[in-house]
């Protein structure tokens, strides 16, 4: 299949160069101009897509080659891009930084080449003059790439013409504008990168201010024209979609609030295509699960920041403990895994949690088991049969005294360990999964939900 998807990829010379600021500014400016826009983030990050969608009004997803594979990434880009007049993908780290230290597999460059997407490189000009041209020449000549231009960050209006001429003369690349410092658009940071959009009281005003400046300082017409040069995107529709037939809808409770907010849009849409009616609830404020829930999803987020409030919601904790122990199909990862355990310990103290599974979590202040892994099921469970495999990633500043032993995890260095508390009705563990990495995991979960709805699951909690 082929689709015409006008698209660009905003990459960076490295983390901290300003690619997220530039991407947010561009998306905000496009929204203000009335352009229907789709947005993606390279890699597994949750927070930047939340800014894209919640703040900028741009439907957003993730393109992760390690988690999902090349054909699925092309399909997800095409599916999301069909909804828009222009698609903007934000890179990850530096353009060539991938899953390994010495190669660019799964990098923004890999994605741009795979999808034939023109790249605009963000470069921070602070403290540089002629050296900037040397840096950009290094990027242009290092490996095969689709770099088609540059946007300058921390650049003043007065200096932009000189930088643009320098870059054109020394590298042959055009500049598509610049962003100056925009104090009224600054946001804070936390250990996972940018803090979530929901936590910033005046975020819309900040992004509107950034978009106004971007609309004035970026070459919007030039960027639109560049996006139009992208060739038709070739892709194949995943086979599993041809096997799904429309049918009954089954209510699945999904935790969505400030404490539980890390979800992959496309993974949730896959569950919906398979029959899930996702009903959001808040473990912070709701006393009960949504009526009639036939399944439960507890995603990642920041439960450690809201541990006291979560612990104080004893009515809901009791209901969830009863539901999980009674066999309600439950899929919990990272923060959701911590929440289902016995307790979370932070600098403020120890806070009892649902107590539905063994294990006590504690905040460590440093990354634990960070990075990509591959999981292999050691026995049958909610998501797969023994031997089932899926790729995953971990990014958490906490640890537990009971990881579980339902899966074997293997990292890129070949180190392995056991992880995941599982049963025929449960998956709970630190690893974040992308269900498009193995759609059979989604189908297995929904099969359990359907059996529960039809009274075949042996559920005892209702």
Terminal alpha carbon distance of the chain:
46
CA distances in angstroms from 269 to 72, 167, 436, listed in the order given: 14, 43, 10
Write out the catalytic residue numbers. Answer: 334
Pairing assessment for the beta strands 349-352 and 360-377 based on DSSP bridges? unpaired
What is the chain's length?
462
């Amino acid at each position: 299949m082929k689709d015409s998807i006008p698209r660009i990829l905003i990459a960076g010379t490295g983390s901290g160069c300003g690619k997220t600021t530039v991407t947010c500014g561009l998306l905000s400016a496009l929204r203000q101009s009335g352009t229907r826009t789709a947005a993606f983030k390279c890699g597994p990050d949750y927070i930047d897509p939340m800014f894209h969608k919640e703040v900028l009004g741009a439907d957003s997803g993730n393109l992760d080659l390690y988690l999902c594979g090349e054909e699925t990434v092309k399909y997800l880009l095409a599916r999301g891009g069909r909804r828009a007049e222009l698609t903007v993908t934000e890179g990850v780290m530096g353009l060539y930084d991938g899953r390994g230290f010495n190669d660019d597999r799964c990098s923004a460059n890999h994605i741009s080449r795979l999808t034939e997407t023109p790249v605009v490189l963000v470069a921070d000009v602070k403290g540089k003059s002629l050296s900037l041209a040397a840096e950009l020449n290094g990027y242009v000549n290092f490996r095969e790439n689709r770099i088609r231009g540059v946007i300058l960050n921390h650049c003043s209006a007065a200096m932009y013409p000189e930088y643009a001429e320098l870059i054109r003369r020394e590298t042959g690349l055009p500049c598509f504008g610049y962003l100056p410092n925009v104090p009224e658009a600054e946001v804070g940071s936390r250990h996972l990168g940018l803090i979530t959009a929901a936590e910033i009281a005046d975020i819309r005003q900040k992004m509107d201010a950034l978009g106004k400046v971007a609309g004035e300082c970026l070459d919007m017409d030039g960027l639109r024209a560049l996006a139009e040069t992208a060739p038709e995107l070739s892709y194949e529709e995943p086979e599993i979609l041809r096997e799904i037939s429309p049918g009954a809808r089954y209510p699945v409770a999904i935790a969505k609030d400030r404490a539980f907010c890390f979800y992959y849009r496309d993974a949730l849409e896959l569950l919906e295509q398979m029959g899930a009616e996702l009903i959001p609830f808040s473990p912070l404020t709701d006393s009960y699960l949504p009526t009639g829930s036939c399944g439960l999803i507890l995603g990642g987020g920041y439960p450690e920041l809201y541990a006291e409030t979560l612990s104080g919601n004893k009515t809901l904790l009791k209901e969830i403990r009863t539901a999980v122990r009674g066999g309600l199909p439950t899929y919990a990862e990272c923060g959701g895994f911590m929440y289902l355990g016995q307790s979370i310990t932070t600098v403020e103290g120890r806070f009892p949690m649902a107590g539905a599974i063994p294990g006590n979590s504690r905040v460590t202040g440093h990354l634990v088991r960070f990075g990509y892994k591959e999981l292999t099921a050691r026995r049958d469970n909610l998501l797969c049969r023994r031997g089932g495999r899926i790729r995953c990633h971990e990014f958490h500043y906490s640890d537990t005294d009971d990881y579980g032993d339902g899966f074997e995890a293997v990292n890129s260095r070949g180190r392995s360990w056991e992880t995941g508390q599982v049963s025929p009705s449960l998956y709970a563990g630190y690893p974040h999964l992308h269900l498009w990495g193995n759609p059979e995991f989604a189908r297995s979960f929904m099969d359990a939900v359907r059996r529960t709805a039809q009274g075949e699951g042996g559920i005892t909690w209702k």
